[in-house]
Structure 1
């Protein structure tokens, strides 16, 4: 189990996350600035809003759905999803 924390930065520093490994597995905790983003997955991701809100267009969906503090959505491996952020938002992403 790694003790080093890895900081990742995406979209010209508009999204930053810190990767961690613990007994629950691999996760990232991050913050997204106001904007629109598209992410790709390599593993199943469980994304939980910690503070703020995300509006998300999940793979194979045509409608956008809003997720508030405490809400979780799942994106399967090898998919992409779009996110709109209207206020700076913190999230927890757990990987399987």
Structure 2
């Protein structure tokens, strides 16, 4: 996984969720695609998805449970997981988590 995103535009206003437990910025690419780059502070949260998402874990550790599943799966920096569109996932961050969310 690359350590940087090149040739992009960044929306300056931050996206703040869950009373500041998750903060991200939207990154726009010339081909019209977008990603968010952010951080989730140690917490237990539930995210809802519109479009399918790939969550790339840049640094930190978490455990994730996708909608309809009983099992939790552990992820850390250098790993990723996929979430279907129109779904949700529970995430428990075990330490501060840096991530990139790829949409579509």
What TM-score, normalized by structure 1, do the two folds share?
Answer: 0.92
Q: Which of the numbers 47, 62, 80 marks the counterpart of 2:70?
A: 62
Q: Partner of 1:12: helix, strand, or coil?
A: helix
- The residue that corresponds to 1:84 in the other structure is 92
State the alpha-carbon separation in 2 of the partners of residues 54 and 26 from structure 1: 23
Superposed, which structure 2 residues align to 1:36-55 within 5 Å? 36-55=44-63
Is there any run of 5+ residues in structure 2 with no aligned partner, and where? 1-7
How large is the Cα RMSD of the aligned pairs? 1.5
Q: How many residues align?
A: 95
Q: Partner of 2:16: helix, strand, or coil?
A: strand
Q: Which of the numbers 35, 40, 58 marks the counterpart of 1:32?
A: 40
What TM-score, normalized by structure 2, do the two folds share?
Answer: 0.85
